[in-house]
Amino acid sequence: MKSLRHTWQNAVGNSKEFSNEQRIVNAILLITFFVVIAYLLAGIFAMDTHFSGVMLSILSGLLLVLPL
């Protein structure tokens, strides 16, 4: 559990280096990233190519925005 908390803090940002607004945006983008991946996998397993294409486009856009 401690390593999960440490990983989350590293992904969202340290409170000493980032403002609360930046940390909130990072958290929302990270959660959205995983939701889009889940939808993408669901679309692939459902064989819905149009839906998967849209989700892949959104995922690509998120990768450009995420502060990794």
Per-residue pLDDT tens over the stretch 2-15: 787 787 787 788 77
Task: Say how many domains are in the chain.
Answer: 1
Is 66 a residue whose pLDDT tops 60?
A: yes
Domain hosting residue 52, numbered range:
2-65
Is 51 or 26 the better-scoring residue by pLDDT?
26
The answer to whether 36 and 59 have CB atoms below 8 angstroms apart is yes
Structure tokens at 38: 């889940």
pTM: 0.63
Per-residue pLDDT tens over the stretch 21-50: 888 888 888 888 888 788 777 777 777 677
d(CA 38, CA 62): 14
Q: What is the overall mean pLDDT for the chain?
A: 78
Mean of the pLDDT values across residues 46-68? 74
Q: Which of 23, 55, 29 is nearest to 41 (CA)?
A: 55
